[in-house]
Structure 1
Amino acid sequence: MKMSRRADIDAALHDARVAAYLPGQFVGQESFMTADAVLALARNAGIDADTRVLDVCCGIGGPGRLVVRTFGCTYSGVDADAEAVALARELATGLPCTYSVGSVPPLPAGTFDVVLLLETVLAFHDKRALAAAVAAALDPGGRFACTLEAGMPLTPAESAVMPAAETVWPVPLAEFTKTLADVGLSTVSIQDDTATQLQVVTALLAQFTAHRDRIAAALGTSFTDGLLESHRLWRDWMSSGRIRKFALVARRMTKP
């Protein structure tokens, strides 16, 4: 059976990703978060066995599987990439996970105790529309747990060198928390994870560079060059303070 492009990418990058993370910290994530960081955010959001979790932009679902295995929560993932969702379903065989394909916003129907959004807030240009959709999906007291790439918007020069710049929309932390408050989400926890994520992206860049020829043979030179360039930029931006990475939990208030 022919593998999907998303499965091809996961397979081609797997060995480099495993080598980049400290033992036990790689759980199939496609980001710079460690397993410990995922679990810390989940605990801050109050996830337990009775929690209904919606994982937005779940991708192939590595962090979600970790959360389900650890806490035994009720879990649903949604992503716009049908190939990613298909692979997530395959990888979650035997776990109580459900997945759907859909663009966000809107979020899937129903209400949830926790909405997760890991490493993809930057992909949403309209942060207010995103926040409003999240608030509508949470019962009063429900939590929004996300990671934020905090910084000023990209300059034209930065956009010109960032691969897929149309999906890179950083925002200052204070502006984002105000946007959340405007739709009834009160920020209750903020953790600066920049230092840890900088270590991860630096290690990933080193491993992707070491595995460059094999990755290029599997996925093409253009993909590989873009992968390396994006990781160089994230490394440089985090090391210089241009971008900071935060893990944030906000609670749905009874009234906005």
Structure 2
Amino acid sequence: MRQDERRRFATALEDARRAAYPPGEYVGQESFMSAGEIRELARRARIGADTSVLDVCCGVAGPGRLITAETGCRYLGVDYSASALQVARALGGDVAGRFEQARVPPLPDGRFDVVLLLETMLAFADKAVLLAAVARALRPGGRFACTVEEGRPLTGSERAAMPDADTVWLIELAELEALLAGAGLRVTWQQDCTAAHHATASALLRSLMARSDHLAGHLGRQAVVELITSHQLWSDWLGRGRVRKFALVAEPR
């Protein structure tokens, strides 16, 4: 998705996304995570009022805004999309926090107590370079809190079926743990989110299909077809275990 499209997509999809989540679980996220999962990951990463947090690939920063509002942490959200950051700033209101436009890696200068990477590790083909940059950005005793789509790399036919397949780079858990170890990090907490994210992906699919004509008027028919196709694939893959989803926290060894 081009960076100038993010605001248009976020606005058009707001109702469909909100309808797909149980009451209170939608907080502006562009992902399969629920508000409860976001809070739990923040708790496991020990985010509090004195915590400096770098949110990598924050998008419109729904999770980041929630964490900042509820913990009072010192927050910096980074994303390449200027239009996504415009949405994040507009929706942030009185919530303290800063946003910067940047392509990552590298990560911004400075060191942080927590680095967040929510629902976007998938987009990085070279995860070793990414994780090395994360490790360098952590202060001593820092925490890396992320989600990961786990599984074998996509086959040729799977890549042909998936829209924007150049942003879909699965990794098996053993390989991820090895890459984390190579960056000097070890997993200290892990949770399997597969069943919950399958349910969310399926609910989002139904919500998008129910609003497809309305959405096509705002986004174009092809964009809606691609959204529905990608959600069909994620629902299928998560449902039959082709892909598993994990939340985890890793810390320096």
TM range (shorter): over 0.9
Instruction: Tell me how far apart the structure 1 counterparts of residues 5 and 145 of structure 2 sit (CA, whole Å).
Output: 29
Which residue in 1 is equivalent to 2:167? 167
Which residue in 2 is equivalent to 1:155? 155
Instruction: Tell me how far apart the structure 1 counterparts of residues 7 and 182 of structure 2 sit (CA, whole Å).
Output: 39
Which residue in 2 is equivalent to 1:101? 101
Which residue in 1 is equivalent to 2:18? 18
TM-score between both structures, scaled by the size of structure 2: 0.97
Query: How far has the Cα of 1:89 moved from its partner?
Result: 1.1
The residue type paired with residue 140 of structure 2 is: P
Structure 2 residue runs without a partner (length 5+)? none
Which residue in 1 is equivalent to 2:68? 68
Secondary structure of the 2:104 match is coil
TM-score between both structures, scaled by the size of structure 1: 0.96
Give the stretch that moved more between structures: 4-13 or 39-48.
4-13
Q: How does 1:104-123 map to 2 (within 5 A)?
A: 104-123=104-123
Instruction: Tell me how far apart the structure 1 counterparts of residues 70 and 95 of structure 2 sit (CA, whole Å).
Output: 11
Secondary structure of the 1:249 match is strand
Which residue in 2 is equivalent to 1:240? 240
Query: How far has the Cα of 1:224 moved from its partner?
Result: 0.2
Instruction: Tell me how far apart the structure 1 counterparts of residues 20 and 87 of structure 2 sit (CA, whole Å).
Output: 22
1:228 paired to 2:228? yes
Structure 1 residue runs without a partner (length 5+)? none
Q: Is the 8 A contact 1:50 1:74 kept in 2?
A: yes
Which residue in 1 is equivalent to 2:9? 9
Instruction: Tell me how far apart the structure 2 counterparts of residues 183 and 11 of structure 1 sit (CA, whole Å).
Output: 38
Work out the percentage of aligned pairs sharing the same amino acid: 53
Query: How far has the Cα of 1:91 moved from its partner?
Result: 1.1
Q: How many residues align?
A: 250
Instruction: Tell me how far apart the structure 1 counterparts of residues 224 and 74 of structure 2 sit (CA, whole Å).
Output: 37
Instruction: Tell me how far apart the structure 2 counterparts of residues 5 and 106 of structure 1 sit (CA, whole Å).
Output: 24
Instruction: Tell me how far apart the structure 2 counterparts of residues 46 and 174 of structure 1 sit (CA, whole Å).
Output: 25
Instruction: Tell me how far apart the structure 1 counterparts of residues 96 and 167 of structure 2 sit (CA, whole Å).
Output: 31
Instruction: Tell me how far apart the structure 1 counterparts of residues 221 and 66 of structure 2 sit (CA, whole Å).
Output: 32
The residue type paired with residue 14 of structure 1 is: E
Which residue in 1 is equivalent to 2:46? 46
Secondary structure of the 1:58 match is coil
Instruction: Tell me how far apart the structure 1 counterparts of residues 82 and 156 of structure 2 sit (CA, whole Å).
Output: 31
Which residue in 2 is equivalent to 1:31? 31
Q: How does 1:166-185 map to 2 (within 5 A)?
A: 166-185=166-185
Query: How far has the Cα of 1:70 moved from its partner?
Result: 1.1
Query: How far has the Cα of 1:7 moved from its partner?
Result: 2.1
Which residue in 2 is equivalent to 1:135? 135
Instruction: Tell me how far apart the structure 2 counterparts of residues 15 and 90 of structure 1 sit (CA, whole Å).
Output: 18
Which residue in 1 is equivalent to 2:193? 193
Secondary structure of the 1:23 match is coil
Instruction: Tell me how far apart the structure 2 counterparts of residues 80 and 192 of structure 1 sit (CA, whole Å).
Output: 29
Secondary structure of the 1:28 match is coil
Instruction: Tell me how far apart the structure 2 counterparts of residues 72 and 246 of structure 1 sit (CA, whole Å).
Output: 26
Query: How far has the Cα of 1:5 moved from its partner?
Result: 3.1
Query: How far has the Cα of 1:127 moved from its partner?
Result: 0.5
Query: How far has the Cα of 1:93 moved from its partner?
Result: 2.1
The residue type paired with residue 112 of structure 2 is: F
Aligned Cα RMSD in Å? 0.8
Query: How far has the Cα of 1:94 moved from its partner?
Result: 1.1
Instruction: Tell me how far apart the structure 2 counterparts of residues 140 and 7 of structure 1 sit (CA, whole Å).
Output: 37
The residue type paired with residue 148 of structure 1 is: V
